[in-house]
Copies of this chain bind each other. A is one copy, B any other.
Amino acid sequence: MITNKNCIIRLSRYKNALYRLQALGFVKVFSDNLADAVGVTASQVRKDFSIFGISGNKKGGYQIDLLLEKLNSILGKDQLQKVIVIGAGHIGSALMRYRGFEKEGIKIIAGFDIDPAKINRSNVIPVLPLDEAKGFIKAQGIKIAILAVPDIAAQEVSEEISAAGIKGILNFAPLRLKDIEGCVINNVNLEIELENLIYFVNVAQKLK
C-alpha cells in the first residue's frame, strides 16, 4: 500500500501533463517527455508507474489514453466526487465560486455556515445552516469536506463532521487538528507556505 504523498502528487501531475499533451494531439508519450513536462527524472516516472503496475511498450512508450485511464482509476477519478465547504466566508466562498474543480471531477455541492446572514438556499451551490450539515452528509453520502472556518472553530467542527461521516478534510485553518480516527486530514497552511517561500528566497540571496 502506497503511503508516499509525494508519489501520489506526482501521479496527479502526470495526469495533468498527459491531458495537455493529449490536447496537443499526442497519442503516445515516453517517460522522458513526461519527466520534462512534470520536472522530475525519467527514472522517477518509470518507477512510479512500476509501483502501480502500470506498463508501457518497449520502444513504444506509453499510450496516453490507456495511461490516463489507469491514473484516473488510481486517483479515484472514475466517479464524480461530491464535496462540501464548511465556512462560507472569504476563502470558503472563493472556493465555492471556483469552476476549476469541476473539470477535475470534483464538485462542491453545498456550503455550510453558522452565520444566518451567509445562508442562501437558492444559490446554485446553496449555503445552508451548519446544523443541517450532519443530515446532509449522511443523506448524500459525502466523504470529503473543505474546512474554511475560523481557527477557534476548526477543531470542534472537524469532529462534528467526521462523526457525521466525513472521511477526509482539507483544512485551511492555520492550526494542527488533532488526529481523528477514520478521517484523513490534509492542511493548506498559507501562512506557512509564505514563510517557507520567504526562507528559501532569503537563502537563495545569501548564496550569491
Chain A residues engaging chain B, CB cutoff 8 angstroms: 1-2, 5, 8-9, 12-13, 16, 37-39, 74-77, 81, 83, 90-91, 93-95, 97-98, 100-101, 104, 106, 143-144, 146, 167-170, 174-176, 179, 182, 184, 186, 188, 190-205, 207
Contacts and interface: CB of A to CB of B under 8 A. Distances in A.
A190 B37 CA distance: 19
13 contacts: A8-B199, A12-B196, A90-B98, A101-B191, A106-B194, A144-B201, A168-B198, A168-B200, A170-B194, A184-B197, A184-B200, A186-B193, A186-B200
How many copies the complex holds: the figure is 2
Contacts of A76: 195, 198-199, 201-202
A201 B141 CA distance: 14
A201 B12 CA distance: 15
Nearest to A77: B195
Task: Say what secondary structure dominates the interface of chain A.
Answer: helix
Contacts of A104: 191, 194-195
Contact of A106 (B101, B167, B191, B207): B191
Given A76-B202, A91-B94, A5 B170 contact: no
Given A39-B176, A167-B201, A167-B204, A195 B1 contact: no
Contacts of A91: 91, 94, 98
Contacts of A81: 194, 198
Contacts of A9: 192, 196
